[in-house]
Amino acid sequence: MIKDILTTEIIKSDYKKEFRSSIKIVIILSIVLALLSLLIIYLFSYLKTPLLFLEILILLPAMVFAFICLAVIFDSYKDYITIKREQFKIVTDEIIGYQEKETYISSPFLSSFSHPYILEFKSYGNYCIPARENYTKSRNYSLTDKDVFNYTTVGDTFYLVITKKRKILLAYNTKLFEFKENI
């Protein structure tokens, strides 16, 4: 079997694509929610009775969602900077199990946040395979999340891209890739 060469530049490019797709969805959802909130305020402003309590009650979930979106953006941006500055480690770890979530809502609009497939590693914990095209810079193995999951067996070794806090950012199967540090 032919293995693709995995380099730091390919890792950076793969993560940049993942970062952009997840941030794009968060920004779109935030804009839609902000416009919806403004529409509600506009509609309530034409009513003659004071319904401030109702406005606050409706806008409170929108504000909570906005704070969650900001937290997601901040966390994703921290990981993106870690990759961009090459402050990550590449380690190998073995698969001890994998699972498919039974409760999964398939939506192309929310695909960046849905992770129906989980890989369980011996030393570094779980990795949720992003529901999108993975390994996009690979010449031979641009795979969907389901393909990555189906191609994995217990005992497979993966190259894991991890942060200082041992968070798995990306995972590459060693059956498909060979890591070369300096090319």
- Domain positions in the chain are 1-183
Strand 157-162 to 89-100 pairing = antiparallel
Place of tokens 């641009």: 142
Contacts of 176 (CB under 8 A, 6+ apart): 1, 3, 4, 135, 138, 140, 141, 151
Neighbours of 45 (CB within 10 A): 9
Contacts of 129 (CB under 8 A, 6+ apart): 115, 117, 118, 119, 145, 148, 149, 171
What pLDDT was estimated at residue 111? 45
What pLDDT was estimated at residue 50? 62
What pLDDT was estimated at residue 112? 45
Residues belonging to the chain: 183
Measured between its terminal Cα atoms, the distance across the chain in Å is 21
What pLDDT was estimated at residue 122? 93
Place of tokens 């005992």: 155
User: What are the residues facing 172 on neighbouring strands?
Assistant: 159
What pLDDT was estimated at residue 174? 92
What pLDDT was estimated at residue 109? 46
What pLDDT was estimated at residue 182? 65
What pLDDT was estimated at residue 56? 67
Q: Which residues of the chain have pLDDT under 50?
A: 104-105, 107-112
